[in-house]
Amino acid sequence: MIEKIARLQAFLDARPYAQFLGARADARDGNLVLVLPFSPHLIGNTALPALHGGVIGAIMELSALSQLSLDHPRHSPHQTIDVTIEYLRPGRAQTTYVSAHLKKVGRRIANIQVEAWQDSPAQPIAAMRGHFLLGAEG
């Protein structure tokens, strides 16, 4: 698991936008997770306050791409084709955890499902499913 965390962290370190968000790698309950510590610049609704919906969508897409890259390293990067994001609860001003599950990886297309939570994985704040184009082998 320590090696997996290091590989996810290296994936994030190579991405300026992931650094802008403040995303980092960790493990929870034996699973690799992407962690987004709260930071004031992530707020989208100052009244609640709540994380911006775009930020939640972005870290779920990052989680999917990183999991795919870790499990299926390729010569060229994988690309996002489409994502559907369901917002289930407001993302509050606290740390968010994200975990991706590869539902099917074919020759060219991967189907990935992602969940984001704060207090407990049993109470997700958002869910995402998406299609991803696998990078060329080489």
Partner 1 sequence: MSEVPTDRVIVDRMANSTPQAIALGFEAISMAEGRAMMRAPWREDLVEVVGSRALASGVITTLMDHCSGMAVAAVEEDRFPTATLDLRIDFLRPAAPGAGVMVEAHCYKSTDTLAFVRATAWDASPDDPIATVQAAFVLNGPQSPRPTL
Task: Give me the residues that bind partner 1 (CB under 8 A), please.
Answer: 14-17, 19-21, 40-48, 52-55, 57-59, 61-62, 77, 79-87, 90
Q: Give 33 or 85: the residue with its C-beta nearer to partner 1.
A: 85
Q: CA-based angle 105:107:113, to the nearest 5?
A: 20
Q: Per DSSP, what are the bridge partners of residue 74? A: none
Q: Give 1 or 136: the residue with its C-beta nearer to partner 1.
A: 136
Phi-psi region for residue 73, left (φ > 0), alpha (ψ -120 to 50) or beta? beta
- Nearest distance in Å: CB 44, partner 1: 5
- Nearest distance in Å: CB 19, partner 1: 7
- Nearest distance in Å: CB 5, partner 1: 20
What residue ranges in 5-134 does DSSP mark as E strands?
24-28, 31-36, 43-45, 50-51, 79-87, 96-105, 109-117, 124-133
Q: Give 32 or 65: the residue with its C-beta nearer to partner 1.
A: 65
- Nearest distance in Å: CB 83, partner 1: 5
Q: Give 6 or 17: the residue with its C-beta nearer to partner 1.
A: 17
List phi, psi (to 5°) of 79.
-125, 145
